Amino acid sequence: MESFSKGGYKDRKAGAYSEYSQISFFQFLQALQSPHVNLLIQSAGKIGLTGFEIESLQTLEWFQLMCNRFGGKPPDLSPENFPDVFHLWTAERNGLDGVLTLERKLPAVVEQVRKEKIKKIEIRSLALRPLDLLRVLGIDDPDPIPVEPDRFYHQHELPSPVA
């Protein structure tokens, strides 16, 4: 299970921290320096990297710059938002229109980067919260959610979607 943990604050608090967590992997990517990336690319055939993986390494600086935007430079860097940045980088790498998130910080940072006069990186994918997605789809007045506040619902109790 340790390789499936996010490795964030809640996992560490619950004693589920592992050096093999998602955040540990993202910290590894964030810390890779150009000489290391170049060595990986040069060794691509020996270690079995695909063309897509090589291209991803060539754009790793994009991921690293966005990680820095979320919490400063090492050693003060907060890795809690690295998974969100990774999802956005994945959307960028795969040419997706956007990524849906419940986080508030990701869309705000994306907007900041887009508004910068000096462009270090280009962000084509949208980072959308659920209501933002509805607006993009032209739904300005969504139906109310048919649930009661402060009540826990089991899956079999959830209202059926209207066709």
- pLDDT value of position 142: 85
Does residue 52 surpass a pLDDT of 80? yes
Distance CA 46, CA 39 (A): 11
What is the average pLDDT value for the chain, to the nearest integer? 83
Alpha carbon 41 to its chain's center: 24
Query: How far, CA to CA in Å, does 74 sit from each of 17, 24, 27, 70, 131?
Result: 20, 14, 10, 11, 34
Distance CA 63, CA 7 (A): 19
For the stretch 87-118, pLDDT in tens is: 999 999 999 999 999 988 899 999 989 988 88
| Domain range list for the chain | 2-129
For the stretch 54-93, pLDDT in tens is: 999 999 999 999 988 876 555 555 788 888 999 999 999 9
Backbone angles phi, psi at 155, to 5 degrees: -55, -40
Contacts (Cβ under 8 Å, ≥6 apart) of 53: 44
- pLDDT value of position 13: 55
Cβ count near 93 (within 10 Å): 15
Identify the band that residue 9 occupies on the pLDDT scale cut at 50, 70 and 90.
Answer: low
Stated pTM of the model = 0.75
Using left for φ > 0, alpha for ψ between -120 and 50, and beta otherwise, residue 139 falls in beta
Show the tokens assigned to 75. Answer: 């050693």
Distance CA 151, CA 48 (A): 51
CA angle 33, 89, 91 (to 5 degrees): 155
Amino acid at 146: P
Does residue 136 surpass a pLDDT of 80? yes
Does residue 5 surpass a pLDDT of 70? no
